[in-house]
Amino acid sequence: MDRTLAQTAKHLGITRPKLISLMREKALLNLQNLPAYPNRDREYLGVKNGNWYHEKLGMQYSQSTRVKQTGIRWLAEQLGLNLPEIPVNNRDVA
């Protein structure tokens, strides 16, 4: 499952603007908030292409960065963040 930058930031316990700022500092994102090195980081980061039709402007195109499941831990390590602990599930206790 790929996550948006907002979903990833929430998972890491920070805000989306803070995540983008940290990723830019580490040269992981370019000025368009897309992966700076898409080939090098393709196992961890991806780009989602979108399009829609606007009545007056015609076809509109967009791109956004997605963080792959394998990229969550990698990104936390790159940015020096600690991943939140996985809550203990006590429902299985007899």
| pLDDT tens profile 37-70 | 999 999 999 999 999 999 999 999 999 999 999 9
Q: How many domains does the chain have?
A: 1
pTM: 0.82
User: Does position 89 have pLDDT exceeding 70, yes or no?
Assistant: no
In a domain, 88, yes or no: no
In a domain, 74, yes or no: yes
Residues in the chain: 94
**Mean residue pLDDT across the chain:** 92
In a domain, 30, yes or no: yes
Q: Using CA atoms, how far apart are residues 37 and 33, in angstroms rounded to an integer? A: 12
For residues 68 and 45, is the Cβ–Cβ distance under 8 A?
yes
User: Does position 94 have pLDDT exceeding 60, yes or no?
Assistant: no
The pLDDT, as a whole number, for residue 1 is 81
* Domain interval for residue 30: 3-79
Spatial neighbors of 83 by CB under 8 A, at least 6 apart, are 12, 72, 73, 76
Spatial neighbors of 73 by CB under 8 A, at least 6 apart, are 83
In a domain, 93, yes or no: no
In a domain, 84, yes or no: no
